[in-house]
């Protein structure tokens, strides 16, 4: 009984931070990080001083604090996964993790979290890695203030920056990701937070999100990505205070929504995207209090969407505000500000007295025949749109804002 009490006391002291400190440096008694990790016990701290360490695949299999002083480098020599964490309760901070291996059949990473809980990865720089931070079957981990940069010029040779698969309760906070295939990739990830990250100049998506539910994206910046952001086959997603900017190209979107239900996009900005939001198969999605400025298309809402609410948004300087591929409209577009609206407000209540139809005839034609964009700004296009306003026949009659704002909404 006394031995059991002593063991419990020892574990408690370890958890309170009373473990040993082991020091690693190129000139010290301990020159190998792997050797220090083997000698460490649960609750110990391993301090690693400046230098380059070639560990040939460092494995952390006990709850320790691994801390870099002066940004020491862990180098994978373009052959190995650099760090693999197989224990919960690990904190790793202050390292340059570089030159991971590349494989056509293994997702080699700079840092891998393998079926762990309560791991913290913070203040690291991951440079020239295949996958950056790879999390699988992990729970309640924090990835914070890391910088991830892949030097590959080919999407085939670049993995994802932060890759989470079958995870729950993850927190991705204030990371910067660039030049990867997808900046952030979520698949089967639930109850997680993506906040304050910047994902830019990635070769495919700034964020790629599939089969993941009840997650929050708050205050992120997705800029200059090849295809923008993609959120698919999910429900209960709350996206707010984000910036989607300069995602341009033939298949580029600020954000693509496909088969999404019971979700929200609010208080965000969409600027200079080819298509700000593309919606397909969305149900009960609320798009509110956003700014759509200087996009090619602000919204492309496919006929497969229903019970969506687009309200209290500002549409400013977009080439087309709304486009759709069908005549049946099952969504609500009331109470937005449209800079193309030229109605009047006789009773001075702040709302236009005449409903606004945001889909132009030319937008309908361009949706089906993109080549006609060559005629944009021509006299015939203006004539077509004005004729459609007088005698509507092709644009969907039910896609209408019955209560348009007369002035931009203060958000």
pLDDT digits (tens, 9 = 90+) for 281-307: 999 999 999 999 999 999 999 999 999
Contact in structure between 295 and 272 (CB atoms under 8 Å): yes
**pLDDT tens, position by position, 58-74:** 999 999 999 999 999 99
Strand-pair partners of 265: 239, 287
- Kindly report, residue by residue over 359-396, the tens digit of the pLDDT: 876 555 556 656 555 555 554 555 555 555 544 555 67
DSSP string for 148-162: EE---SSGGG---SE
How do residues 146-179 score in pLDDT, each as one tens digit? Answer: 999 997 676 667 899 999 999 999 999 999 999 9
User: Quick one: average pLDDT of 234-252?
Assistant: 95
Token digits of residue 254? 């600020």
Closest CA to 324 of 344, 301, 348: 301
Neighbours of 9 (CB within 10 A): 10
- Among the ranges given (136-140, 169-173, 186-190, 377-381), the one the predictor scored with the smallest mean pLDDT: 377-381
Task: Give me the pLDDT at residue 2, please.
Answer: 46
DSSP per-residue codes, 196-210: S-EEES-SSEEEEEE
Residue ranges with strand state E in 115-266: 120-122, 125-127, 131-136, 142-144, 147-149, 162-168, 171-173, 176-178, 184-190, 193-195, 198-200, 205-210, 216-218, 221-223, 228-235, 238-240, 243-245, 255-266
Mean pLDDT of 83-98: 98
- Read off the pLDDT of each residue in 238-244 and give the average, rounded to a whole number: 98
What pLDDT shows up at residue 185? 98
Band (250; pLDDT cuts 50, 70, 90): confident
Number of residues in the chain: 411
Q: Distance between CA 153 and CA 180 in Å, rounded?
A: 9
d(CA 322, CA 278): 10
pLDDT above 70: residue 133: yes
Which pLDDT belongs to residue 155? 60
The rounded distance, in Å, linking the Cα atoms of 114 and 225 is 29
- 216-218 and 125-127 beta bridge pairing: unpaired
Average pLDDT value over all residues in the chain: 89
Burial class of residue 216, CB neighbours in 10 A (0-12, 13-18, 19+):
middle
For 18-390, CATH gives: 2.160.20.10
Cα torsion through 80, 113, 196, 147, rounded to 10: -20
Determine contact, residues 116/90, Cβ cutoff 8 Å. yes
What CA–CA distance (Å, rounded) separates 277 from 230? 10
Three-class DSSP labels, 357-371: CCCCHHHHHHHHCHH
Q: What pTM was computed for the model?
A: 0.89
For residue 15, the model assigns a pLDDT of 47
What is the predicted pLDDT for the residue at 372?
53
Quick one: which of 107, 111, 103 has its CA closest to 74? 111
Q: State the Cα–Cα distance between residues 172 and 244, nearest whole angstrom.
A: 18
- Residue pair 148/162 in contact (Cβ under 8 Å)? The answer is yes
């Amino acid at each position: 009984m006394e031995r059991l009490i002593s063991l419990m006391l020892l574990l408690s002291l370890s958890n309170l931070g009373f473990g040993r400190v082991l020091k690693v440096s190129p000139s010290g008694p301990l020159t190998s990080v792997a050797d220090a990790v083997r000698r460490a016990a649960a609750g110990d701290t391993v301090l690693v001083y400046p230098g380059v360490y070639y560990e040939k695949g460092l494995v952390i299999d006990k709850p320790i604090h691994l801390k870099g002083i002066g940004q020491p480098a862990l180098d994978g020599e373009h052959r190995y996964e650099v760090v693999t964490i197989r224990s919960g309760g690990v904190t790793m901070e202050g390292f340059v993790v570089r030159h991971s291996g590349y494989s056509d059949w293994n997702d080699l990473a700079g840092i891998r979290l393998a079926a762990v809980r309560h791991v913290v990865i913070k203040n690291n720089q991951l440079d020239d890695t295949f996958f950056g931070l790879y999390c699988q079957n992990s729970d309640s981990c924090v990835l914070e203030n890391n910088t991830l940069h892949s030097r590959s010029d080919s999407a085939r040779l670049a993995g994802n920056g932060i890759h989470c698969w079958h995870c729950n309760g993850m927190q991705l906070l204030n990371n910067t990701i660039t030049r990867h295939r997808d900046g952030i990739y979520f698949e089967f990830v639930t109850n997680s937070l993506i906040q304050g990250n910047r994902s830019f100049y990635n070769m495919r998506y700034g964020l790629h999100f599939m089969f993941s539910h009840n997650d929050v994206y708050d205050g992120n910046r997705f800029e200059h990505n090849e295809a923008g952001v993609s959120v698919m086959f999910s429900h209960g997603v709350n996206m707010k205070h984000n910036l989607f900017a300069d995602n341009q190209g033939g298949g580029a979107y600020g954000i693509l929504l496909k088969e999404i239900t019971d979700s929200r996009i609010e208080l965000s900005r969409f600027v200079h995207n080819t298509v700000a939001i593309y919606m397909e198969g969305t149900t009960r999605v609320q798009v509110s209090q956003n700014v759509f400025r200087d996009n090619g298309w602000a919204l492309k809402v496919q006929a497969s969407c229903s019970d969506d609410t687009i309200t209290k948004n500002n549409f400013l300087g977009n080439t087309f505000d709304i486009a759709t591929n069908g005549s049946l409209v099952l969504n609500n577009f009331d109470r937005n500000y449209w800079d193309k609206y030229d109605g009047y407000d006789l009773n001075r209540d702040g709302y236009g007295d005449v409903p606004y139809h945001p889909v132009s005839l030319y937008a309908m034609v361009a949706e089906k025949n993109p080549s006609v964009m060559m005629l944009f700004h021509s006299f015939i296009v203006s004539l077509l749109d004005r004729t459609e306003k007088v005698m509507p026949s092709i644009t969907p009659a039910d896609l209408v804002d019955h209560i348009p704002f007369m002035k931009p909404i203060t958000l």
